[in-house]
Every structure is written in structure tokens, then in C-alpha cells.
């Protein structure tokens, strides 16, 4: 079965929530592709800011309501991360919004201490593997990409894998873009799945430039789409038979080490 994945690569306006929601809404509304799952960058309404006390919203806030509205109007699943305040804590939370208004969420596990993210946000402890049209998608955020155990297929053989595609929504700067591209391909090879990396473009208020380079990588680790350094919205059709053929022809997952993650 096929699944259409739409990646929205946006030049985010620094800490301007209204401008970002308006801009993202226009890009989605202007897309003429058949959209099913639409992916936004990390902290899509603010950029990668360390000001959650000023900018974070609750799950009843404007950004989540906006996600519900867009998902319902376009009849799509909409996903991306934003700052959320809950029980007096702040999270970099990825939301998986269904057109019905139901949703799941994943709180970023690996906080980017190099930029002080760990001093402002609380780490998550549970993965989110979402299901759609028979596909299973493992949803993660930016810095998680550097930690392969958190993404690793934990099943004992290739017939009972946990997921078919791995998603990273990110604000990944150009100075480390080689690592971005390399690690996306590595995660695909070792987990025998599609990997989708969604990055932003433009400059933020901390002096970082973001190169885009959003990518879709197949289960052999080959990029099937790489975006350039500009705003772009594109749709790619994932084919589950391609994943199954790789796993059947190269049954490496059954030889993997057994492990248990403790948090």
C-alpha cells in the first residue's frame, strides 16, 4: 500500500507565532498534490527558541487549534513539534493530529544541551509509533537523530518489525548538515525503513543558518528526494512493497542484538 508524505520546508519567522502559522497555512493551501500526511519542522511556530516561559502554549492554545483546523479542512494528518506547557513543565512536543481532531504526541527525548535546551525543557520518555493506512511511523525530533538506540527496531525478526518509516522533524543548522544527511541514511540502512527528515531554511535569532536539505531516504539508504536551500513543499509516495522486498531479500534484522531501553 502506498502513502503520500508531504514535507513542508519553511523559512520560519523568529519567535513570531502568527506569521509562521499564516505562512505554513498558505503553503499547505497552495499545494496541489494529493496530501495524506503533512510534516512540519521542529518548533514550527517559533523557530528553535529557548524562551518557553514567553512563547509556550497549552494543548488548548492557538497552535494546536490551528493544527486541528488545517487537518480537518484538508482531510490530512498534520504533524510537527512546538513548545507546550503542561503541569508547570515545558516540552518540545511533536503532535500527530488527525482530521477528526484526535491526536497523539511525543515529547522530545534527547534535549540539545549544547544550546541549553535541557535547561528549559523536560525530556520525554516514551516513543510514539503512529499507524495510518497499514503503515507504522516512528516519530522523533531533531537531536534524537544522533542516538541510534532510541530509533532501533527492537523486534526479533523481520516479520515483526515495529515500524516502516522513521520521521525526524528538525531545526538542523548548515554547519552540521553533513551529519544530518549521513545520519538520516544510516538510520534507514540499519532499520530497513524509509526515513523522512524535515528541516527548515533561513536564519534564526541566535545567528544560525538552516540549509533545508529535507530528505526522504529509502530502505537501502539511498536518498530519493533532497530539498534545496529554499522554501519548498513537496510530496513523495512511499511504497510498502519496496520496504518489504528489502527486508525479504536482505533479512538482517533477525540477526540484530536484543536490548532493552531504560529511562
> Catalytic residues, which ones?
42, 108, 142
The rounded distance, in Å, linking the Cα atoms of 83 and 14 is: 14
CB distance 39 to 69 below 8 Å: no
The rounded distance, in Å, linking the Cα atoms of 211 and 227 is: 9
CA-based nearest residue to 88, from 56, 51, 112: 56
Could you give the count of Cα atoms lying within 13 Å of 154 in the half-sphere of its Cβ? 10
The rounded distance, in Å, linking the Cα atoms of 260 and 131 is: 23
Amino acid at each position: 500500500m502506498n502513502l503520500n508524505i508531504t514535507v513542508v520546508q519553511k523559512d520560519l519567522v523568529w519567535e513570531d507565532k502568527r506569521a509562521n502559522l499564516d505562512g505554513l497555512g498558505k503553503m499547505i493551501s497552495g499545494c496541489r498534490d494529493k496530501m495524506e500526511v503533512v510534516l512540519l519542522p521542529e518548533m514550527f511556530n517559533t523557530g528553535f527558541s529557548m524562551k518557553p516561559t514567553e512563547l509556550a502554549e497549552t494543548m488548548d492554545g492557538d497552535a494546536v487549534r490551528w493544527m486541528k483546523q488545517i487537518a480537518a479542512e484538508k482531510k490530512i494528518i498534520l504533524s510537527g513539534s512546538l513548545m507546550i506547557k503542561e503541569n508547570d513543565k515545558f516540552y518540545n512536543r511533536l503532535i500527530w493530529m488527525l482530521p477528526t481532531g484526535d491526536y497523539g504526541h511525543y515529547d522530545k527525548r534527547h534535549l540539545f544541551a549544547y544550546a541549553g535546551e535541557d535547561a528549559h525543557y523536560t525530556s520525554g520518555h516514551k516513543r510514539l509509533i503512529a499507524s495510518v493506512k497499514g503503515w507504522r511511523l516512528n516519530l522523533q525530533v531533531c537531536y534524537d537523530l544522533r542516538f541510534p538506540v532510541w530509533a532501533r527496531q527492537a523486534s526479533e525478526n523481520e516479520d515483526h518489525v515495529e515500524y516502516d518509516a522513521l520521521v525526524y522533524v528538525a531545526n538542523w543548522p548548515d554547519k552540521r548538515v553533513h551529519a544530518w544527511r549521513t545520519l538520516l541514511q544510516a538510520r534507514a540502512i540499519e532499520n530497513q525503513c524509509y526515513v523522512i527528515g524535515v528541516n527548515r531554511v533561513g536564519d534564526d535569532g541566535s545567528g544560525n543558518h538552516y540549509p533545508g536539505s529535507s530528505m526522504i531516504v529509502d530502505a537501502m539508504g539511498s536518498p530519493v528526494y533532497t530539498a534545496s536551500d529554499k522554501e519548498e513543499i513537496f510530496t513523495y509516495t512511499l511504497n510498502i512493497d519496496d520496504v518489504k522486498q528489502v527486508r525479504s531479500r536482505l533479512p538482517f534484522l533477525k540477526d540484530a542484538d536484543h536490548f532493552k531501553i531504560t529511562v
